[in-house]
């Protein structure tokens, strides 16, 4: 199979590219920007990967790339993904994360409607949740410009599927983390701080809302599900989650314990780090993915946090 991945230099795109290449697929990655510093990194990581220039902001670039590569499947993992940033640059966020998906769908429709699409949807769409836990049918109630853009993108994928018969699916992914997660996300911010404090290079950690709860999983687990979606006879929507919800406070406590630290000595709450609106709790029900894709996450909360802190401790030393 020939696959094209958008967002190939990100956490998800890079894991998916590695998995697909290891399984013998032909892997193309969409890459943007002159002298993109991540170009060499991804080429070193994924032997045989071919990078093609294009941008989710540029309709004609997407059409040129699809016409040139002729992928059987497109995995759309390209987006601005940091919720915190979505208040500072809401229009840029909406252009890339929302309208970018519309451009990609239009390009598929025009170039070759037989191209399959798997799009990364987000648990942030559930926002101020309407039920616990959240599944594919839970009503959306987003609480950030990012969440709103993701709702737009999700509904657009579903509408192109139903209007034009595209084989377009969504992976409705809850938070998923790894050492490749950016340091602005709370998991990495905490694991990096625990490692830096344990090695004497940092003395404090400032955080925002400690009461927020998330369903955190292991990113490579989630990437295993995407090719299963592309291979289904019928497209659809599937929640990917662990079903376990933990607070930021529990995250800090667990991470600092792994590093041998008592967290209360180092952590302070900074009201400036609170968001204008926050998603208080997320907890996913992935039973549809279990039943239909035979997918199950393999890494729980404690193991996830241990992997992040162990990684960052190794790097710090």
Residues engaged in binding ligand GDP (CB under 6 A)? 83-84, 124, 175, 184-187, 189, 207-209, 212, 214, 248, 273, 275, 278-279
The least CB distance from residue 119 to ligand GDP, in Å, is 17
**From 124, 177, 244, 253, the catalytic residue:** 124
Cα-based torsion angle of the residue sequence 22, 23, 26, 27 in order, rounded to the nearest 10 degrees: -50
The least CB distance from residue 105 to ligand GDP, in Å, is 24
**From 86, 121, 122, 178, the catalytic residue:** 122
The nearer residue to ligand GDP, 124 or 221, going by C-beta atoms, is 124
The least CB distance from residue 164 to ligand GDP, in Å, is 31
The least CB distance from residue 155 to ligand GDP, in Å, is 20
Specify whether the CB–CB gap between 242 and 297 falls below 8 A: yes
Q: What is residue 213's three-state secondary structure?
A: strand
Decide if 122 is catalytic: yes
Say if residue 280 is preceded by a cis peptide, omega within 30 of 0. no
- CA 173 – CA 240 distance, rounded (Å): 5
Specify whether the CB–CB gap between 257 and 306 falls below 8 A: no
The nearer residue to ligand GDP, 268 or 317, going by C-beta atoms, is 268
Residue nearest to ligand GDP (CB): 212
> Torsion-angle region of residue 262: left (phi > 0), alpha (psi -120 to 50) or beta?
beta
**CA-based nearest residue to 189, from 121, 90, 260, 273:** 273
- CA 71 – CA 31 distance, rounded (Å): 15
Decide if 146 is catalytic: yes
The least CB distance from residue 268 to ligand GDP, in Å, is 11
Specify whether the CB–CB gap between 127 and 83 falls below 8 A: no
The nearer residue to ligand GDP, 28 or 256, going by C-beta atoms, is 256
Decide if 144 is catalytic: no
Q: Which helix (H) or strand (E) holds 117?
A: strand 116-122
The nearer residue to ligand GDP, 82 or 306, going by C-beta atoms, is 82
Specify whether the CB–CB gap between 125 and 151 falls below 8 A: yes
The nearer residue to ligand GDP, 94 or 175, going by C-beta atoms, is 175
Specify whether the CB–CB gap between 15 and 223 falls below 8 A: yes
**From 146, 177, 178, 191, the catalytic residue:** 146
Q: Which residues are catalytic?
A: 122, 124, 146
């Amino acid at each position: 199979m020939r696959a094209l991945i958008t967002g190939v230099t990100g956490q998800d795109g890079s894991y998916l590219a590695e998995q697909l290449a290891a399984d013998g697929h032909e892997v193309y990655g969409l890459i943007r920007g002159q002298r993109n510093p991540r170009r060499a990194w991804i080429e070193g990581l994924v032997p045989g990967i071919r990078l093609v220039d294009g941008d989710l902001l540029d309709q004609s670039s997407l059409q040129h790339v699809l016409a040139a590569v002729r992928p059987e499947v497109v995995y759309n993992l390209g987006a601005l993904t940091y919720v915190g940033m979505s208040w500072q640059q809401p229009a840029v966020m909406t252009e890339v994360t929302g309208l970018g998906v519309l451009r990609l769908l239009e390009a598929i429709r025009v170039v070759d409607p037989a191209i399959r699409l798997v799009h990364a949807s987000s648990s942030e769409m559930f926002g101020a949740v309407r039920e616990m836990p959240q599944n594919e049918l839970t009503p959306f109630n987003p609480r950030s410009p990012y969440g709103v853009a993701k709702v737009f993108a999700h509904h657009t994928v579903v509408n192109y599927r139903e209007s034009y018969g595209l084989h377009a699916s969504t992976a409705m992914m809850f938070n998923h983390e790894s050492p490749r997660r950016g340091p602005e996300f709370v998991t990495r911010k905490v694991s990096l701080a625990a490692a830096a404090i344990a090695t004497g290079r940092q003395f404090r950690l400032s955080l925002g809302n400690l009461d927020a709860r998330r369903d955190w999983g292991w990113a490579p687990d989630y990437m295993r599900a995407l090719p299963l979606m592309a291979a289904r006879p019928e497209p659809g929507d599937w929640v990917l989650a662990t079903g376990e919800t933990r607070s930021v406070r529990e995250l800090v406590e667990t991470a600092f314990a792994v590093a041998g630290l008592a967290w209360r000595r180092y952590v302070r709450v900074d009201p400036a780090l609170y968001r204008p609106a926050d998603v208080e709790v997320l907890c996913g029900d992935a039973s549809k993915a279990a039943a239909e894709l035979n997918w199950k996450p393999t890494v729980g909360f404690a193991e996830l946090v241990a992997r992040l802190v162990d990684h960052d401790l190794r790097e710090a030393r």
